[in-house]
Chain A
């Protein structure tokens, strides 16, 4: 994932590289993902979410569909 100043900059970046525009995440959503993945990272309980958990986490902030499913074979 890459950070851009605005969606216009995402469009320009995709166009220059002839890449499709894909999902854009806002700051609140990104913070939720960062906290969910990493807030226990410095503790003995550290672990990564499993594939099913990931789907639930993404869905909880409105990121749904095969793009956000680590087990999907649609892409």
Chain B
């Protein structure tokens, strides 16, 4: 397995295990590589749009569908609760884990709580409207706001 694949697998493995995206120092320690090597490989994954790095710290801001920071989009699977980057990614966490899930978020207009369930590979029908304000060609102009 090449190093890029090893790194991706470790990022996601640690994220799933700990319900938290790992720090670059943790990856460096786990993989026996220097911090600089990890930073360079993460930057390469960022260029491929497989990760989003924090502009200031360089840490992993998004390992889609997981968020490196706490968000209002929570996904509970078993005894673990993950933060997702957006409502798309909240369902993406359930899809990636292939598990029943409880999803909670808030209405972007009024803030009222919204909840969804995924059962046996499908979402349980629930009222909602998911609005795409930004055209696909511009999603990566500011991936935090799409």
Contacts and interface: CB of A to CB of B under 8 A. Distances in A.
Binding between chains A and B: yes
Most buried by A among B1, B12, B128: B128
Chain B: number of interface residues, binned into ranges? 35 or more
A71 B138 CA distance: 9
Contacts of A7: 129
A23 B133 CA distance: 7
Interface in A14-65: 14, 16, 19, 21-28, 30-31, 33-35, 37-39, 41-42, 44, 46, 48, 54, 58
A48 B45 CA distance: 11
Contact of A1 (B9, B12, B97, B130): B130
A5 B112 contact: yes
Contacts of B116: 27
B56 interface: no
Interface of B: 1, 5, 8-9, 12-13, 16, 48-50, 64-65, 86-89, 91-98, 105-110, 112, 114, 116, 118, 122-123, 125-139, 146
Q: Helix, strand, loop or mixed for chain B's interface?
A: mixed
B127 A6 contact: yes
Nearest to B63: A41
Nearest to B87: A3
Of B95, B108, B146, chain A has the most CB atoms within 10 Å of the CB of B95
Given A44-B5, A58-B136, A69-B136, 5 more contacts: A5-B128, A31-B118, A31-B122, A37-B64, A75-B138
B132 A22 contact: yes
Given A2-B87, A44-B1, A24 B129 contact: yes
Nearest to B92: A38
A21 B130 CA distance: 11
Instruction: Please indicate which of the listed interface residues A2, A7, A24, A25 has the most CB atoms of chain B within 10 Å of its own CB.
Output: A2
A41 B136 CA distance: 21
Contacts of B86: 1-2
Given A3-B107, A9-B109, A13-B109, A27 B132 contact: no
